[in-house]
């Protein structure tokens, strides 16, 4: 049996953590929010100018939203835009389990409800 070197790696569900980037959960959160917002904007069939007027931003900012330039927007701003277009955005906080605070690191997740 020959041993072949794999030319791929199995990753986790967070590509940003796999790449060793700081704030990987925040980056993944923004990417997921941006993705959902982009899908909704594209499905609306409205022009970028119409979207910009409704969100109170410039057309180039809408272009950045659609093209996924999530580093240009905070999670809060993306959630605000989602609420402006009619989404119900909910933040759920679960208390630490029995070992108390700081016993383990928590988790940030964006889960679209379809």
Give domain status of residue 79, yes or no: yes
Per-residue pLDDT 10s for the chain (114 aa) are: 556 677 877 778 888 888 889 988 999 999 999 999 999 999 999 999 999 999 999 999 999 999 989 889 999 999 999 999 999 998 888 888 777 788 777 878 788 876
Q: What range defines the domain where residue 55 resides?
A: 16-84
Whether the pTM exceeds 0.85: the reply is no
Residues 103, 54: contact at Cβ < 8 Å? no
Give domain status of residue 49, yes or no: yes
- CATH number, residue 71: 1.10.260.40
Give domain status of residue 91, yes or no: no
98: tokens are: 């029995």
3-state secondary structure the chain: CCCCCCCCCCCCCCHHHHCCCCCHHHHHHHHHHHHHHHHHHHHHCCCHHHHHHHHCCCHHHHHHHHHCCHHHCCHHHHHHHHHHCCCCCCCCCCCCCCCCCCCCCCCCCCCCCC
Based on the structure, what is the number of domains in the chain?
A: 1
Give domain status of residue 108, yes or no: no
Give domain status of residue 30, yes or no: yes
Q: What is the dihedral of CA 82, 95, 28, 105, to 10 degrees?
A: 160
């Amino acid at each position: 049996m020959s041993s072949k070197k794999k030319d791929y790696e199995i990753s986790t569900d967070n590509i940003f953590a796999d790449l060793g980037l700081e704030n990987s959960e925040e980056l993944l959160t923004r990417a997921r929010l941006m993705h959902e917002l982009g899908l909704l904007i594209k499905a609306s069939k409205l022009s970028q100018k119409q979207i910009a007027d409704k969100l109170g931003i410039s057309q180039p900012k809408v272009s950045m939203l659609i093209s996924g330039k999530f580093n240009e927007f905070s999670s809060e701003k993306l959630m605000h835009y989602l609420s402006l277009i009619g989404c119900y955005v909910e933040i759920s906080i679960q208390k630490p389990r029995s070992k108390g605070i700081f016993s383990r690191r928590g988790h940030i997740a964006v889960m679209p409800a379809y």
